Structure 1
Amino acid sequence: MTSSSAFARGDVVTVEFPFADGAGSKDRPAVVVAGPSPYGDYTVVMISKERHVDGVSITRADFASGSLNTDSFVRVSRLFTVDGGTVIGKRGTLKLGTVARVNSMLCPMLGCKS
């Protein structure tokens, strides 16, 4: 586990995601979209290798530092909060333009301004 003060908006981290049916979990990458909260929590969105309607395509070129092993999709509808102490590690940081693309899909869903 990693110190919760180490992450910022746009960081790609590895977290333990629960399966939708509640029958287990899987370590997978996610993008930090908010945090830390006063309690050290972060709001993240899941990254998947599979194409999805709610997905923002990302490639190695979308990273300011680090990368993922394969082209992927940020799933903005898979939003949840994690305790920063449970984040397994940091994989990289997205470029500001890529973060803006994620926000442009996420904010209408939440009613915020991108």
Structure 2
Amino acid sequence: MKYKQGDIVWINFPFTDGSQSKPRPALILSNTRVNDTGDYILVQITSKVRNDGLSLAISVNDYRLSPLLLTSYVRIHRIFTSNEALISSKISAVTDRFTQKVINQLILLLQ
């Protein structure tokens, strides 16, 4: 396992229609049990502001490592699973508290 829950990684994030993918940052939500399989559960990160109730802003205090250059938002509903081989690199990490906040918001979307 190279990456862990709360890491922000660079990955080709697939479009929801499967037509293309776009390099972008993503937050790893999966825990060690999943990550040890070589697969990761991730959510998209974007710099575009959307007021649809499906985005969660990442504040400077939410980072464990250097913040991303642009103000960024987790798109809670944009989830996908990827193999470690498709992840380019780790670029930052968020706090455990922020990761849990994202997971809690995702659970609310699924209930």
Partner of 2:46 in structure 1?
A: 48
SS at match of 2:65: strand
Aligned partners of 1:103 and 1:24: how far apart in 2? 26
Q: Percent identity?
A: 29
SS at match of 2:68: coil
**TM-score between the two structures when normalised by the length of structure 2:** 0.85
Which residue is 2:25 aligned to? 29
Residue by residue over 1:46-96, the C-alpha shift from the partner in whole angstroms, topping out at 9 and shown as x without a partner, is: 001112320110033311113211111101100000001110100111012
Offset of residue 22 of structure 1: 3.0
Deviation, 1:104, is 1.9
Cα distance in 1, alignment partners of residues 44 and 7 from structure 2: 12
Unaligned runs of 5+ in 2: none
TM-score (ref. length: structure 1): 0.83
d(CA) in 2 for partners of 1:51, 1:28: 15
Partner of 1:87 in structure 2? 87
- Write the deviation string for residues 8-38 of structure 1: whole angstroms up to 9, x where unpaired: 1111011101223333211000000003152
Question: For structure 1, which runs of at least 5 residues remain unmatched after alignment?
Answer: none
Secondary structure in 2 matching 1:65: coil
